[in-house]
Each structure stands twice: as structure tokens, then as C-alpha cells.
Amino acid sequence: MYNWSEISAQISSVTQSHFNAQQVSAIGGGCINQAYCIADEQQRYFIKLNTAQNLSMFEAEAAGLKELVQSDTIRVPHPICYGQNNHTAWLVLEYIQFSDNTRGNDADLGAGLAAMHHIHAANFGWVRDNTIGNTPQINTQSSDWVFFWRTHRLSYQLNLAKTNGYTGKLQSLGEQLLIELDQFFDGSSPQASLLHGDLWSGNYNFDDKGHPIFFDPATYYGDRETDIAMTELFGGFSNSFYSAYRHEYPLDSGYNVRKVVYNLYHILNHLNLFGGSYRNQAEQMINRLLAEIR
């Protein structure tokens, strides 16, 4: 079991309020890190632990949460602090009590996401890189969205796939798609919206008042269709979520094809993280996209 005194001391120092972890409970449900709730009689915090070399992942997550907090749209946990010793890196967040039986208001979730997407930046990308899963996600800023998506999203993951041994058909199809990518954006001019960036159903919930909560973001500024596409990839979002979103911020008709361009990024990332059948799925998605433009 981890020795919590270092983390308790850091929390006490940054919050200026004495804290000494007395109760520790493990929390499941995450993909990458070990998660815990630590508490004393007055306070409790949500903690993620990983090996020391993952400190920059936690720094980026804290910065992303801060950006989302500042948007004042959907509630996210406030970042408290992060740190490392020789073995372990940690991230300390506000602990949020989720609702246990009522699901909360899906329409608020949709409207809140639309409000977040109405926060715009001058350029696509972000002031720092972060991670998607634990794969690096490059956010070098650009005024050209198609360039950004081609270079920092699809091409980056395809190159990683090549390094991981996924050569052959996936790579030749991928090269064709990258050449043709502009065609999927005819008549559309995406704006740089504040994104969650990793919006699957495991990364939202509702607090004990039924208000929506986002957590575990891979924040940057980009086409808002990327967040909506990801909600469709693994399911778990209701019709009232989509109708509230579209009511606040309607989607262009080209979305139905572009969502495949966008979800390909996450499927390639899953291939790089988990291997297996994601290779077939990625190839099928690229074939489907190439068929659209031939």
C-alpha cells in the first residue's frame, strides 16, 4: 500500500488546511491509472497514481481540467496538486460524489457540452501537448484544421501503428486517406471549440444533485464534431442528450461522414494501445471513407 504522508503534506501545503489521509479506498472504472479516495474527518480527495515517469501526463490532465473549470460550463473536478517521488507520480483532484441511483439530466449534459463548444480559440490545438489514453497527443497550434487533423491526429497514429508493426494494407489505405482528406471538408469551416477530447461514456457522470460532470479529459481546441463523433463510437449517450445538444448548437449535414474521419483517430489509438481487432476496424473505416469520394 502506498505511503500517503507525502501526498497529505502536499495537499496541506497547497490548500493551507491540515490534511492527513486516514481512510483510503480504491476506486475502479479507470483505464490507465490506479484511483483512490483518501479522507480524514473533514476532507476527502480523489487521487490518481502511476509510475514517476507519468508526471507530465498528470500535469497535462490538471491543466486540461483547469481550462474546463475556467469555461464555467460543465462541472469538472478542480485540480488540487500533482507531484512525484522516485517511484510514483500522483494527481490530486477535488473528490466528487456521484449520484448513486438517479442518472441525472441528460438534456443538461447536451446543453452543457454545447456551451463548452461555444468557447472558441483563435487556433486549433492547445498551449501544451497531453495524452489520449496514455498515448502522446500533439497539440501544436495551427490555423488550418485539416492540416492539424491530418498531421497531429491521423498521421501521428498511423506512424505509431507502423512502429508497432501494423504495416501493409493499413498503411497504404491510410496514405490514400491522408492525401484525400480535404475532400471531407468541402463547404465546411470548422471553428476551434473547447473540447473534452476523450468523450466516451466512462468519462461523464452526474453529481448527487443530478448535475453533469466531465472528467478525464484530453483537452484541446478543435472541431466540436470530434467530441460528438466519439460519443457515438462506444455508445452510452441518450437521445435527450443529442436533441439538447443539436437544439443549442446544430450540426452540419456533412457530420455523418466526417464522424468516421474523426473516430478513426480513436480506433487507431485503440489499435496502438490494445492491438487485436482494431486493425480490421480501422481498415474498414478507411475503405468506407474512400468509397465516399470515389
Residues that bind ligand ADP (CB under 6 A): 27, 29-33, 35, 46, 48, 77, 93-96, 202, 215-216
Instruction: Pick the closer one to ligand ADP by CB: 30 or 250.
Output: 30
User: Alpha helix locations (H) across 235-277?
Assistant: 239-248, 255-274
Q: What angle do CA 146, 267, 77 make, to 5 degrees?
A: 85
Smallest gap from Cβ 262 to ligand ADP, in A, equals 21
Judge whether 143 and 222 are in contact, CB under 8 Å. no
> Is 198 an active-site residue?
yes
Judge whether 208 and 99 are in contact, CB under 8 Å. yes
Catalytic residue among 106, 129, 198, 223: 198
Judge whether 283 and 176 are in contact, CB under 8 Å. no
Smallest gap from Cβ 86 to ligand ADP, in A, equals 22
Smallest gap from Cβ 61 to ligand ADP, in A, equals 8
Instruction: Pick the closer one to ligand ADP by CB: 36 or 265.
Output: 36
275 dihedral zone (left: phi>0; alpha: psi -120 to 50; beta): left
Instruction: Pick the closer one to ligand ADP by CB: 65 or 285.
Output: 65
- What residue is closest to ligand ADP based on CB? 30
Smallest gap from Cβ 213 to ligand ADP, in A, equals 8
Judge whether 244 and 111 are in contact, CB under 8 Å. yes
* CA nearest to 163, candidates 271, 287, 53: 271
Instruction: Pick the closer one to ligand ADP by CB: 2 or 95.
Output: 95
Catalytic residue positions? 198
